[in-house]
């Protein structure tokens, strides 16, 4: 039961922060959805750190991974919104913007995870 509560709490906080960041930033670049991009990349970085720290000598407990990884990052990041925004760009015939958004999100996400893992190696 404790693990379910940790996931629930982390997910609620993550979802709330995602909403605030997306609401604040998505209006600045209507053809790029900067808020969604940033929360997804930041979530990738956080997951990279969590996995790196949990693998390195069991530095982070399973409960912390559930709270921060499954809960917070699960609520904070959003694949469904990313897919919807990509579809909207395509629907608006903005193939160039959609391609840039897709490519930048995927490449930056993978690099953010790698950076998080790399930082953990240095610790």
Return the ∠ at Cα 108 (arms to 112 and 28), rounded to 5°.
Answer: 115
Q: To 10 degrees, the CA torsion angle through 65, 70, 71, 75?
A: 140
> In terms of Cα–Cα distance, which of 53, 82, 81 is closest to 65?
53
Q: Has 109 been labeled as part of a binding site?
A: no
> What is the C-alpha separation between 55 and 117, in angstroms, rounded?
10
Token duo for residue 111: 């690099």
Q: Has 43 been labeled as part of a binding site?
A: no
Looking up tokens 């990313």, which residue turns up? Answer: 82
Residues of each annotated binding site for Na(+): 74, 77
Residues of each annotated binding site: 74, 77
């Amino acid at each position: 039961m404790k693990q379910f509560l940790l996931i629930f709490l982390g997910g609620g906080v993550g979802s709330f922060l995602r909403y605030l960041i997306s609401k604040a930033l998505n209006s600045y670049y209507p053809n790029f959805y900067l808020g969604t991009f940033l929360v997804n990349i930041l979530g990738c970085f956080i997951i990279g750190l969590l996995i790196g720290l949990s693998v390195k000598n069991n530095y982070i407990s399973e409960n912390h991974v559930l709270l921060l990884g499954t809960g917070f990052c699960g609520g904070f990041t959003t694949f469904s919104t990313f897919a919807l925004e990509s579809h909207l760009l395509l629907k608006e015939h903005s193939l160039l913007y959609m391609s840039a958004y897709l490519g930048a999100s995927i490449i930056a996400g993978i690099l953010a995870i790698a950076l998080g893992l790399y930082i953990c190696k240095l610790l």
